[in-house]
Amino acid sequence: MSHDFLHEVAEPARQVREGSRFEVVGREDFSESTFLLRIHYPLLAKAAKPGQFVIVMSQEHGERIPLTIADFDPDSGIVTLVIQAVGKTTMEMQQNCQVGAELFSLVGPMGVPSHIGDAAKVICVGGGLGVAPVFPHARAFKQNGAYVIGVVGFRTRQLVFWEDKFRNYCDEFIICTDDGSAGIKGLVTDGIKVAMDKHPDIDEVIAIGPPVMMRACAETTRPHKLKTTVSLNPVMVDGTGMCGGCRVKVGEKMMFACVDGPDFDGHQVDFDDLANRLRRFSEEEKIAAERWSKSCRAVKATHGPHPGETGPRPQGEGEPTAG
């Protein structure tokens, strides 16, 4: 093969690779374990809809993890992800994904967009990390002319984020903290009750957060027969309906969260089944996180701390994981 031919083939390939860089152009750290990444990806920022997610590989030999698109701006071409470091991959991202870094791959938007119908009054509920993924819903309902009540829950005031961002699109905004250091003292279910008592005409509740929180929200609204949509976060691998890893039980049906969801009717979801499935790989996840932490300590002992490193957090601490 001539050198010219190789050059002709290689040059466009290089351009494609260069054209598909997933550069981290912004980062904020909300707490010891939660951080935000802004990624420049104009096509995705244009195509994304509330409720959708991406599958990310932060490095070539890493695993694929699903992350909800927490914000998207077609004008700037920026997509926002909010991530909680809970295990090997997310801790690795917390350490390595600084401004200027590139993700190896980012595929999306995946999943069925949330149905932003003609509801006149809605409650958008986010717990812990689930606060970020429910933001696009609040904005979309508001832009559709709905009266939007935001209810967000955190352990304590220091963990509160995006308050101003929500207030821009919410007609009412209720913060709930476990210790009462901000807003009302209590859980998001207390916030939902406050909103329901004041407004007997709510059409729909959207709740995103850890499974235990979404289940509690669904039980709060069930006696009132109030439509409640939840966003499920089972373990996903391909995200395209092929591996079956993300099976969830909804009513009498088995569904794949990646292609049939992740939104489902909260009153129909079998949350016990979801909790069991989320525990399936806990032993392997623990080993992977320990191995990674050990290798970090070894690197640190030789080269000193990584710039901007906040350090891995032992599993089980911090805010609850949300999808």
Ligand X SMILES: Cc1cc2nc3c(=O)[nH]c(=O)nc-3n(C[C@H](O)[C@H](O)[C@H](O)COP(=O)(O)OP(=O)(O)OC[C@H]3O[C@@H](n4cnc5c(N)ncnc54)[C@H](O)[C@@H]3O)c2cc1C
Residues binding ligand FES (CB under 6 A): 236-239, 241-246, 256, 258
In terms of CB distance, is 90 or 220 closer to ligand X?
A: 90
Binding flag, residue 89, ligand X (CB under 6 A): yes
- For 135, 176, 317, the CA distances from 191, given in Å and listed in that order, are 17, 7, 24
* Interacting span for ligand X (CB under 6 A) from 82-90, 119-127, 177-185, 222-230: 82-90
Residues within window 262-321 making contact with ligand X, judged by CB under 6 A: 262, 278, 282, 285, 289, 321
What value does the CA radius of gyration of the chain take, rounded to a whole number of Å?
21
DSSP 252-313: TEEEEHHHH-SEEETTTB-HHHHHHHHTTTHHHHHHHHHHHHHHHHHHHHHH-PPTT-----
Q: Assign 14 to helix, strand or coil.
A: helix
- What number of chain residues touch ligand X (CB under 6 A)? 26
In the list ligand X, ligand FES, none, the entry touching 166 (Cβ below 5 to 8 angstroms by class) is none
Distance in Å, CB of 260 to ligand FES, minimum: 9
In terms of CB distance, is 81 or 246 closer to ligand FES?
A: 246
Binding flag, residue 67, ligand X (CB under 6 A): yes
Q: Assign 170 to helix, strand or coil.
A: coil
In terms of CB distance, is 110 or 140 closer to ligand X?
A: 110
Strands 65-68, 53-57: pairing is: antiparallel
In the list ligand FES, ligand X, none, the entry touching 323 (Cβ below 5 to 8 angstroms by class) is ligand X
